[in-house]
Structure 1
C-alpha cells in the first residue's frame, strides 16, 4: 500500500506539472465522455438529463444506510424512498476507524472501509466493509434510484489522514496541500471509482462532504485564507484525477456553497458589524469560481441558518431563517446560471416540527421555481428491525424504536405535513422528467 501511494504520488506530481505547463495545459485536462452509456446521468446547460431526456429530482440524504447490517432493512428503506418519489440517494462512500476501535467495531458489527494503524490505512472490502456498500448501491438500482457517493468527510474523517500521516501540531488545511496525504486520498478514491465506474446506479462522485479550511478538531492554517484558492486548487486536482479514471460519471464538490465576494455581506452581532463567514472567503470555498472548473459538472450548496446564525435567531429578531434561506437559494441559482451548470440544494434543515412545516414549503417552492435538485437532510425511516429496532450503529447514533437516527433534522412518514412537502415536490420533478 505504501509503495502504491509513493508511485502514484510521483505520477501525479508529473501529471499536474504538465497541467500547469502553459499553453498546452487545457489540452491535458481529461474530458468527460460526450456519449456516455445508457443509464448514466449527464448535463445540458443548467439541467440534468438521463438518456437524452430531462432528469429533475427530489433526493434523499442517508449517511446511515450503509451502516445497517440487515439486508431487509436496506431493502425496506430504499423501497420507502421509491414510494416517496425519490430518484437520487446521497450517502457516504467512506467510514474510517482507528486501529484501537477495531475490536469494538467487530463486536458491534460496525460497517467500516478503512482502518488506520500507521501512516497508511488498510482496506476492508469484506462483508463488514465494502460489500455492504455494494448492497446499498445494487438495491438502489433495483428501485430506480441513482447514488451520489461521497469520498471523504471534512468533519473528523479527513483529520485521520493528518493525524496518522503527519502527527500532532498540524492545521486542517494540510489535508488539501500535503502531497503524501493527497496521494493516500487518491488511492482510496481510485479503489471506489474502479469498483463502481461501470455502474449506471452512480449519479455522481463527490470529492468531500463540506470541505472547509478548518474542521471540528483542527484549526485553519495560513495556507487556507480568503483568496488563497487552496480548496479550488484541490477541487481541480481531484476532479481531474477522477475524470482520468472515469470519463462517464458526473463529478461535484460536496461543498456548502460558501462565497468569496469582494464586498461580503455583514450583520450586527453584539453591537459589532461582523463580516459574514458565508460570504467573505474564510471557509475556503469560492462558489462562483469553483463552479467554473472543467471537471466540476454541477454545483452543490447546503442551508442551515439556525446553526450558522444562532446569535440572530431569537424571538423578536427581524432576521428569519426562512428569508435568509430564500436569498441563499437565489444567490446560488444566479451563480449556476452564469456558469451554465446545474445546481443541487444538497442539504438543508431546520429544527422543530413547526419550523419545518413553515419553512420547508417556501424553500422547496423556490427550488422548484428555479429548476434544480432538492435533497433535504435527512430521510427518516420507521420500522427498522435490527436488534428489535434498537441498535447503536455508530458512536452515539442509534436506531430507537425502529426509527433511523434523528439529529433533529430528520423527517419521517408520520410527520404528514412535512412528508407531503417532499412527496408533492417529487411528483412535480418527476413530471418534468422524461
Structure 2
C-alpha cells in the first residue's frame, strides 16, 4: 500500500511505442514448478499449491512493513511470537529502507532503521547496528517462531526510499516514473541492492519468497511516461529481474509484489458523470498484465491487492449501484480463475478498508471467497499491542508511530483487541492449517 498520502490514482494515459528492457542469460527453467533438491524448510510450490517439506502449505499471513523499524529485539520477538500464536504463518515486510544523505542526522537522532544512504549515483550500504543487522534479527526471529517472510526489494512509492530515490539520484530531473524500468544505470543499482539482500539470506529457510517491488506501476509519485501504459513494459522488467534473482538463488520462490492489474482486450467500462471510460484495473494503463506476468518462468506465484474504496471513491455514494463488496468478490474470483488456468498459486497479498463497519461487513465474504478458491490470505495489516521500546511511544517516520504500545495504525490495521475482526482471520488460519496436515 502507498503509505504516504494520496488515494490510489484512477487515470488513463496515452500509448506510444515501447522501450524494451534487457534480459539476463540464465536457465529460467529452474524457476518453473517443483524444483528438485530444495533444502529442508524452504517453501516451494507444486501446481497451484504451496508446499513445505512435502506437505501442502495453506496459510493466513499478514503484512508488517514496520517490523524491521523496531529498535529492540524484545519487540521483534513479541510481534512474531504473538502473530504465530494467532495462526499467522507468513509475514510480508520491507527488505528496503533508504534515505538521502541529508536525512542522516535525523535518522541517527531518531534511531531510524536505514539500509541505504544516497548521496550520488551509487548508494552506500549500512551494514551496522542501525542497518542490516536489524533485518538480520528479524530473519533470525522469524526462524525462531516458525514464521516465513516475504521480503520486498523496493517500493513503487516514495515511502521509505522507493523507486524514485533511484531516479532522483541517477537521473535527476526525469519527468517520468517508468524510467526506473528501462534505464541501465538504475537497473544496475537496483540489482546491486538485490544481490546484497539475496546473498545475505539465500540460505535461510525463514525466507518464503523474494518480491521484486511493492505495487509496481507505470506511475509512482512521478507520472507515467509514454512508453509504459498499455505496453507490457512491466512484464519485461519482471522477467529481467526475476531471471536475475534466480541466477543468484536457485531455491527460494520469487514473486512480483504487484496489485494484480489485468490487461484485457475488452476491459469493463466505468460510467461517471455520464462519461464512460475503461477501467484502470483492467485496461493495461497501470502497466501490469497479471496473466502474462504470472506465466513468466521465474515468477512462482501471483499477488494482488484490494483497496476498492481507494480505487473507486467516485463510484461509492448513497444510491449508487456500485457495490464495493461485490466488486471485491469478483476481483478475488478473477485472480483465482487466472492462476488456476496458468497453474500457479496466488495470494491475496494486501486488502484493507478504513471503516470498522466495512471491515465487519466485507472481510468475512472476501476471506471466505479466498478460502473457497484456495488462496493464500494476507490482510493489510497486522497490528501489535504491548510494544515497549521508548516507553511504548515513538514517532518512526512520516505519520508512522508507536502509540501507547500499539504498532502504526493506518486505519487498515487490525489488533487483537478488535475481537470481531481478529476472529475472522484466526478462523481462516485454523481452516488453512487443517489443509496443511
Q: TM-score with structure 1 length normalisation?
A: 0.93
Shift of 1:222: 1.2
Q: How does 1:101-112 map to 2 (within 5 A)?
A: 101-112=103-114
Measured in 1, the distance between the counterparts of 2:63 and 2:22 equals 34
Contact 1:97 1:112 in 2 (8 A): yes
Match of 1:222 among 222, 226, 232: 226
Q: CA deviation at 1:385?
A: 1.1
| Contact kept? 1:347, 1:376, Cα under 8 Å | yes
Q: CA deviation at 1:29?
A: 3.1
SS in 2 for 1:410: coil
Distance 1:28 1:255 in 2: 24
Partner in structure 2 of residue 51 of structure 1: 53
Show CA shifts across 1:275-329 (max 9, x none): 1000000000000111000000000000000000000111222212110000000
The alpha-carbon deviation at position 17 of structure 1 amounts to: 6.6
Alignment partners' CA distance in 2, 1:60 and 1:140: 13
Structure-1 separation of matches of 2:380 and 2:320: 26
From 77, 80, 84, give the equivalent of 1:78.
80
Write the mapping of 1:57-68 to structure 2, written as runs, cut at 5 A. Answer: 57-68=59-70
User: C-alpha separation between the residues in 1 aligned to 2:69 and 2:174?
Assistant: 32
Paired position in structure 2 for 1:266: 269
Three-state SS of the structure 2 residue aligned to 1:63 is coil
2:210 corresponding residue in structure 1 = 205
Give the Cα–Cα distance (whole angstroms) in 2 for the partners of residues 51 and 281 of structure 1: 38
Q: Report the CA distance between 1:57 and its aligned residue.
A: 0.2
**What displacement does 1:30 show?**
5.7
Judging changes above 3 Å, is the alpha-carbon distance between structure 1 residues 213 and 18 closer, same or farther for their aligned structure 2 residues?
closer
Q: How far, CA to CA, are the matches of 1:186 and 1:170 in structure 2? A: 23
CA contact (8 A) 2:75 2:387 kept: yes
Q: Distance in 1 between matches of 2:342 and 2:333?
A: 14
C-alpha contact 2:24 2:244 (8 A) present in aligned 1: no
Q: Which residue of 2 aligns with 1:11?
A: none
| Equivalent position of 1:5 in the other structure | none
1:35-79: CA deviation from partner (whole Å, max 9, x where unpaired): 201101111110000011000000010000100101111111111
Q: Would the aligned equivalents of 1:30 and 1:240 in 2 still touch at CA under 8 Å?
A: no
Q: Contact 1:205 / 1:250 at 8 angstroms: preserved in 2? A: yes
Contact persistence 1:312–1:319 (CA under 8 A) = yes
User: Relative contact order (C-alpha < 8 Å, sep 6+): which is higher?
Assistant: 2
Aligned residue in 1 for 2:16: none
Q: Secondary structure at the match of 1:291?
A: helix
Q: 2:251 aligns with which of 223, 248, 251?
A: 248
1:191 counterpart = 2:190? no
The structural deviation recorded for 1:351 is 1.3
Q: Which residue of structure 2 lines up, in the alignment, with residue 173 of structure 1? A: 178
Structure 1: where are the runs of 5+ without partners?
Answer: 1-14, 20-26
Superposition RMSD in Å: 1.3
Structure 2: which 5+ runs fail to align? Answer: 1-20
- Residue of structure 2 equivalent to 1:144: 146
CA offsets, 1:200-250, max 9 Å, x none?
Answer: 00000000000000002x110111020x12100000000000000000000
2: distance between equivalents of 1:267 and 1:30? 40
Offset at 1:34? 2.1
Give the TM-score of the pair, scaled to structure 2: 0.92
CA–CA separation in structure 2 for the residues paired with 1:361 and 1:276: 26
Cα drift, residue 400 of structure 1: 1.0
- C-alpha separation in 1, matches of 2:79 and 2:111: 20
Query: Is the partner of 1:311 in helix, strand or coil?
Result: helix
SS in 2 for 1:393: strand
SS, match of residue 91 in structure 1: strand
